[in-house]
Structures are given as C-alpha cells and as structure tokens.
Amino acid sequence: MNNCHDDRNYDYYDIHGILRVRTNLSQKVLAKILPSIFRKRLINGDIDLSVLHGDFSIRDLDTADNCFYSEGPIKFGFLRSKFLLANLDKAPTKFWFLSPRYKIFHRIRESLLKLIFSVIEIKLLQKGYTLVHAGCVEKDGDGFLLVAPPDTGKTLTVLRLCLEHGFNILSDDMVILKEDRSVYSYPTDFTFHILHLRNLTIKLPYGLSKSIEFRTAINKIPFVKKIIPPQKDVNILTLIPRERLSPKAQIGKIFFLEIGNKNVIKRISEESALKRFSLVARMHRDVLNDILSIYSYYNELGLWNLVQRQQWLFERLVISSENYLVNSSSEHFFENILTRL
C-alpha cells in the first residue's frame, strides 16, 4: 500500500533557497504550480513543506492539535479518501491526502491543486515573499513585469520579447516578489495554442507545431474539446534555452496589458496601477479559501496578517516602479512595450 512515509519515491523542490518542498506526486501533476527546474532528487537544508499522497493515520502526528483533518464518506477499502493539513505556522508543514482519483488516474482535482498552491503562497509569505501572477522578462539585470488577466496575451508577448528581441525570461505567468522590488523566476509550464504558433516568427519544434495544428483542427468537431483541448501545456525549456532563463531581476517598469484597438501605451497613476495589480496578481491561488480560513480560525495562524503583508509588498513594488497601460491587440503588445524599453 502506498504510504506517506515511504521515502523511496520522494522528489524535492528547492525554490531559490527560499522554500524547500518534499513530495511524492508526479511532476506532470504539479507542473502548473511547481516548476520542474527546481526539482531535485536530494536536497540540503530543512524541509518547509511536505505534499504527500498515501495512507496515513492521525496518530502519525506528534499532536492532534494545530491541524485540519477530514475524511470522505467511504471509510474502508480502495475508495477511501482523507485529507490532513498540519503545522501550517511552522516547518515542516504537512499536506497529506489519500485519493482514489490519484491512485487510479494519477490526477487530482483542480480545487486540491489550487489548495496546494495556496499553501505554497502562505509559506512564502511567512518568509517575507509572495507569488505574483505576471510575466517577466529581463535584460542586463533590469526586469520588466507584464500584468494582465489570463488569456490576454502575456505568454505570446513574453515569448516574442525573448525569442525575437533578445530578452531573457523569468516566467510567462508567475514570479516571486521580495520587498526590495526584486523578483525571482517561477517558470511553471505554459499553455501553448494556435495564436502562439501563428505569430511567432522563429522555427518551433516540429512535434509541438504538429500537435497544435492537430488539436486545433480536431476541435472543430463538436464535443471534442472536452476530451482533447486545443492547447498544450509546454515546459519552458522546450522553447527557451536554459542559459536564457534568468533567476532574478530588479523591477523598474510594469506594463498592464489591455486588449483593445487603441494601440497606445501611456503612463498611469500609482492609484490606478495598484488597483489593477492587486486584483490580477492574486490569481490562480486563494489564501483566504474555506479550508485555510477554518484552519486559521482554530489555530491562530494570522492569515489576515499575511494578506496584509502581501498587499504591502504589492504597494512597495508599484509605488517604486514606472507603470504603463498598453492597449492593443494581443499580437502587438510587444511592439508598444519596446518603445519604452
């Protein structure tokens, strides 16, 4: 039986020496929340977070306090399910679960994946950092942040700046922010689709091109999209050489992308920039979800203090940066941005 304490299949993730995660989940499952470039077989230093699937007992904890524990309706047999979150205010935090979905299909629910991401966020906030939903490119140590809701054009803009105009990349979707305006790369797998294929002028891997063309064509058939999505999740190193992946940059300018037909770029006020930034930067995870809020209620985690710390980090970055609004089609964001770099 798969057990949480069987260490034969552990992977470790060392995130810039800031956060260390131990897990027995497959990289394929974690690809959208834990970048594979941080993956290691062994690690130096103490573990901050254990994310483990397998059977366990509440007695495995040193104490039954300081935890959130729940079980599914089936208590015996192969279809049992249970969940444990413990020691969230210290290290190592335990995120343990038993799921028939993962045992059979090696998949987990989006809600559970988002919860893991939210716990990672909390552990970073406890150390004075926060995740930011944004793309980021760099040249000569100067970083440029691209902020926009999903499906606006961040990925295409980042790829064009890097592949066609010589910038280095930190990420197309997520970075880690520190209070001194520095950001660290967090390059999770990105979503590649037909818009990218049609607009990138460089030669792409043959298999990737054909896969996107096939997915786009077959999605013209009704109901196929539910089985085979038109897009494909791609590891960043598939397109970007490792030497072009920058670990860190100092942010000086933030570009807020807005789809429209004005084709303009203009400076905006700190107030307007902070309003947009605070909304978009928190996407893809939720530290105020029900489970974490209940945990904090009973264990005095200080969750609201962490949210206030996050907002303070956002404010420091926006106030100390030049903030621009870019209004154009997604294919032309990069052209406007280049006029200010």
324, 328, 331, 337 alpha-carbon torsion, rounded to 10°:
-20
How far apart are alpha carbons 296 and 21 in whole angstroms?
Answer: 22
Tokens describing residue 87: 């020691």
pTM of model > 0.85: yes
Residues across the chain: 341
How far apart are alpha carbons 72 and 81 in whole angstroms?
Answer: 5
Tokens describing residue 129: 């950092």
For the cut 60, the answer to whether the pLDDT of residue 330 exceeds it is: yes
What number does CATH give the domain 131-189+242-338? 3.90.228.20
E strand or H helix at 212, and its extent?
A: helix 206-218
**pLDDT the model gives residue 1:** 47
pLDDT digits (tens, 9 = 90+) for 274-291: 999 999 999 999 999 999
**pLDDT the model gives residue 171:** 97
For the cut 70, the answer to whether the pLDDT of residue 47 exceeds it is: yes
73, 77, 78, 84 alpha-carbon torsion, rounded to 10°:
50
How far apart are alpha carbons 56 and 53 in whole angstroms?
Answer: 9
Residue 122 C-alpha from the chain's centroid = 13
Mean pLDDT of the chain: 92
User: What one-character DSSP code corresponds to residue 36?
Assistant: G
For the cut 80, the answer to whether the pLDDT of residue 185 exceeds it is: yes
**pLDDT the model gives residue 59:** 73
For the cut 70, the answer to whether the pLDDT of residue 213 exceeds it is: yes
pLDDT digits (tens, 9 = 90+) for 73-90: 888 888 999 999 999 998
How far apart are alpha carbons 115 and 95 in whole angstroms?
Answer: 10
How far apart are alpha carbons 166 and 244 in whole angstroms?
Answer: 9
The more confident residue out of 59 and 228 is 228
For the chain, give every domain's residue range: 7-116, 131-189+242-338, 194-234
**pLDDT the model gives residue 149:** 96
